[in-house]
Structure 1
Amino acid sequence: MRIASLVLFTLLAVGTAGPVAPAVAQDAAPQPPRWMSIGAGRALMRTGPARTYPGAWLYQRPDLPLRVTAAFQEWRRVQDPDGTEGWMLVNLLRKTRTAYVRGPGAAAMRDKPSAGSGAAWHAAPGVVGRISACGEGWCRFDVKGKAGFVEVGDLWGVDPGEVLP
């Protein structure tokens, strides 16, 4: 009887020890907020984190940068450059860093990260390109092979002061 009580007590103690952390994290990326981009040719933004929620927007623009503001299972709450927010499946997104040119006029894509440097190209508002080597207020911005340095203030998809290798 004593042994049965001891076994029962041990099982109860183990069963009430609290939740056990999963061995492998679902998403090893940093916690929100963070930046991702649309990786699919067609990506549906929903009003909630399940397929039962209605679709709000259908994006047909791969590489469009999105700010991830929350995560729930395989869903990510995202914000687009216009401020629209909703939920997308994580498999529609990728970690490729992109940016969207914002502002009333074209952004100068300079030869060097300096306002005094010559402009090799100009990118119109709404143009999407890949970013790399961000630091000191500038990012290297590549639009289909045409690259230059753009001031961070002209881009949506990178935080002020953010440094990328």
Structure 2
Amino acid sequence: MKFLPRVAAFAVVAAVALFAVAGTARAADGRGPVTNLPLPRFVSLKASEGNVRRGPSLTHRIDWIFVRRDMPLEITAEYGHWRRVRDRDGAGGWVHYSLLSGARTVLVEPEMLELHAKPDETSAVTAQLSQRVIARLGTCSQSWCELEAAGHSGWAPKSALWGVGASEIRE
């Protein structure tokens, strides 16, 4: 009779290990094990506040709180309803998926960024954005992205933005 509980315990351990390996295998090919979406990928903070936890559950300690609505974040892992994210400075942790949005935003990196009428440095300047301004992301070519912030729109070099991949093309 003592043999049966050991077999059951071994079966549970084996099932957990198999699940972990299957999840890791899918993540290894660049896809999230929960959503099958690319990893890493950019999203934005839907809420004006978002608790950042040490692990993927409500029982884990809150390490800090993101407090900028629409802040771009990079998802680096998935576990159930939880996403491990990081911000521009590399700070991050686990956030419940309901606090995130697929609406794309970017952070302006340089102290002053000129928006141009066309994706060309010689085109007219339509506006200037300060460092750390959050802008809505539109179309992106290989080296330029269309942005909208505070009622102004225009094109900016992709290299001046955080929240969009260097090789990412958006139509």
Alignment TM class, shorter chain as reference: 0.7 to 0.9
Aligned length: 143
Corresponding letter in the other structure for 1:163: I
> Tell me, which stretches of 5 or more residues in structure 1 are unaligned?
1-17, 20-25
Matched, 1:74 2:81: yes
Distance, in Å, in 2 between the alignment partners of 1:151 and 1:43 is 30
1:91 partner SS: helix
Query: Given the superposition, is the C-alpha separation of residues 49 and 155 from structure 1 closer, same or farther in structure 2, using an over 3 Å criterion?
Result: same
Report the aligned-residue RMSD: 2.0
**Counterpart pick for 1:131 among 103, 113, 137:** 137
Query: How do 1:1-165 and structure 2 match up within 5 A?
Result: 28=35, 30-103=37-110, 105-165=111-171
Alpha-carbon distance in structure 2 between the residues aligned to 1:107 and 1:50: 39
The alpha carbon displacement at 1:57 in A equals 1.6
Pair member with larger Rg:
1
Q: Could you say if the C-alpha distance between residues 29 and 144 of structure 1 is closer, same or farther in structure 2, counting changes exceeding 3 Å? A: farther
- Flag structure 2 segments of 5+ consecutive residues without an equivalent: 1-17, 20-32
With normalisation by structure 1, the TM-score equals 0.80
TM-score (norm 2): 0.78
Code of the residue aligned with 1:124 in structure 2: it is S
CA drift at 1:136? 2.4
- The CA deviation at 1:48 is 1.0
Task: For 2:108 and 2:53, locate their aligned partners in 1 and report how far apart those are by CA, in whole Å.
Answer: 25
Distance in 1, Cα, partners of 2:36 & 2:165: 17
Q: Secondary structure at the match of 2:159?
A: helix
* TM-superposed deviation, 1:161: 2.0
Hey, what's the Cα distance between the residues in 2 that align with 1:88 and 1:69?
11
Equivalence for 1:4: none
Query: Residues of 1 paired with 2:78 and 2:139: CA distance?
Result: 27
Deviation at 1:56, TM superposition (A): 1.4
Cα distance in 2, alignment partners of residues 29 and 139 from structure 1: 26
